[in-house]
Structure 1
Amino acid sequence: MTSSQVFLSIALPFAIIPLVLFTSSKKIMGEFKIKTWVKWLAWIATVILVALNIYLILQTVGILK
């Protein structure tokens, strides 16, 4: 695996978590706020992606095989 892929795995949570937070905020988005069921799906997808990225990073470092 190249170092750019590892960096993207580390950087992805820093982009996706604020994205879900901001789009689900009535204060920030107003009437364009995402619906509750979309927010739940977004958080589920975020948790899965972050967990898979942590697994990938641990594999790359050699902690997991």
Structure 2
Amino acid sequence: MSQARCPICKRPTDPAFRPFCSQRCADVDLGRWFGGSYRVPATRPDDIAEAMQKSAPARLDPDNDVG
């Protein structure tokens, strides 16, 4: 069975920092997330707003009191 490799530097991983080999590589990875190097795909903002409107519960209109 081959040993897992650090995704940053390709050295063998250390169980204390898994999946990385060291705190340094873990910090490099975190910095890439913060810097925007990694991105999670998403739908367009318009699609998200439309989906939220369709799934939102009906709200009462305070200007149109039915009581």
**TM-score category of the 2 structures, normalised to the smaller one:** under 0.3
Tell me which of the two structures has the higher relative contact order, counting C-alpha pairs closer than 8 angstroms and 6 or more residues apart: 1
* TM-score, length basis structure 2: 0.26
Q: Which has the higher helix share?
A: 1
* TM-score, length basis structure 1: 0.27
The structure with more radius of gyration: 2
